[in-house]
Structures are given as C-alpha cells and as structure tokens.
Copies of this chain bind each other. A is one copy, B any other.
Amino acid sequence: MAEAKIPKATAKRLPIYYRYLNILFNAGTNRVSSTELSEAVQVDSATIRRDFSYFGALGKRGYGYDVEDLLNFFKKTLNQDRLTNVALVGVGNLGHALLNYNFQQTNSVRISAAFDINEEIANTIQSGVPVYPMADMKEQLQIQQIDVAILTVPINHAQDVADELVAAGVKGIMNFTPIRLSVPATVRIQNVDLANELQTLIYFLDHYGNEAGTSDTAK
C-alpha cells in the first residue's frame, strides 16, 4: 500500500535484484553501480535505474548504490524481514512436493498449513506441515491469519475450493490448476500452469525451430 504503482515488469525483477545483492553483500562488496548490476542480472542499466527510482532515490549520483542499504531496503520491501505464512490446499503429488520445496532459500515464506479432502492424509503431518481436513480450512486460515494460498487440487474441485478460500478471506491464490478461476476483483490470482507451460515450450520448438526467446513465467 506504500508506493504508488510499481509496474508489474518491475515487480518481477525485484527478487532478481534482491538475490544478486545478497551475493554482493556476502562477498563483502560495498558499492555497486547500475552498470555493474546490469551485467550480472542481464537487465539494461537504464531499466535498473528506472526500476529503483520507483522507490525514490536509493543511490548516490556519481557513486552508485550502497549494497547494504539497498539490500536492507529490498528486504523490507519484499517482506523478507518477516515471515509470511501461506496455506497449501490439495496434498497430492504436486502439493506434496511443494511442501518439501524450499520456498526461497531465505525463510520469509513458509507453508504453515495444508488441507486435504483425503481422510487418510488429514490430521497428519507431512514434511513438517500439519495437514487439516477441508472442514477446518476456514477456521485455520482465520486463526493463522493466512491470506495467501497455493492451490493444488484436482481440476474438478478447483473452483469450489477457490470459492471457499475467498470466503475464508484469502487475498491471493497461486493456482496450479489449469482452470481459470473466477474470483472477486479483490483477490489476486497467479496462474502457474505447468502442463501448459511445457506444451507451449514444445510448441515453439517445433514451429519456430530456433530463435532467441527467454520467456518468463508470467509474462
């Protein structure tokens, strides 16, 4: 809610900058210029300056950016300094993997609750995360004040579960199902359709042969 409108393209680059700043910091580097950064993260230096400028004047003219200051700034901005709990709904193949997946080498994001309809899995602990039955979802989400959920349920339950999540006050859903969820405008959906992604990749290979093309996820 802090800053005005950060372009989506910029927001997607922030974690990249953040990652590299960490490397610099750990290497004991004090200062860095947009030009140096540019080479490392493969983003035009002007774009980097423009990106940074959305947050105000972070650097010093004729000097560059102070690595530690910048790092701390991003840490705050990206909420790396506090823990964000997220929920995972649907402990199937993929769901289970994500429980194990070390979300960000850092420790700012943690899956603190999982939910599954399967009675055998519910009420157990999987990969260190407690799994609750679907009936407890709303309650748990509210108790734990979770407002981000990862959706890895089968296609045919996707919309229903999404509705429940919304009803429970969730504000962001990372949707791994191929379904286009319909939710209120206040809820943000991040679609991650792995099968689609892979298929598109294959499609481009077969039909374009060669060409550059480092496409992001979400683009």
Closest 7 CB pairs of A and B: A219-B219, A97-B97, A218-B219, A186-B210, A93-B100, A217-B217, A217-B218
Query: Is A178 interfacial (CB-CB < 8 Å)?
Result: yes
Contact with B along A159-183 (1 / 0, CB 8 A): 0000000000001101000101110
A contact residues, range: 35 or more
**Is there an interface contact between B200 and A213, defined as CB atoms closer than 8 Å?**
no
A residues touching B (Cβ–Cβ < 8 Å)?
1-3, 6, 8, 11-12, 14-16, 19, 41-42, 77-79, 84, 86, 93-94, 96-98, 100-105, 108-109, 147-148, 150, 155, 171-172, 174, 178, 180-182, 185-219
CB < 8 Å: which of B101, B187, B202 contacts A93? B101
**Is there an interface contact between B216 and A201, defined as CB atoms closer than 8 Å?**
no
- Complex copy number for this chain: 2
CA distance A196 to B104 in the complex (A): 8
Chain B residue contacts of A11, Cβ below 8 A = 200, 203-204
**Is there an interface contact between B218 and A215, defined as CB atoms closer than 8 Å?**
yes
Nearest residue in B to A40 (C-beta to C-beta)? Answer: B180
CB < 8 Å: which of B78, B79, B150, B211 contacts A185? B211
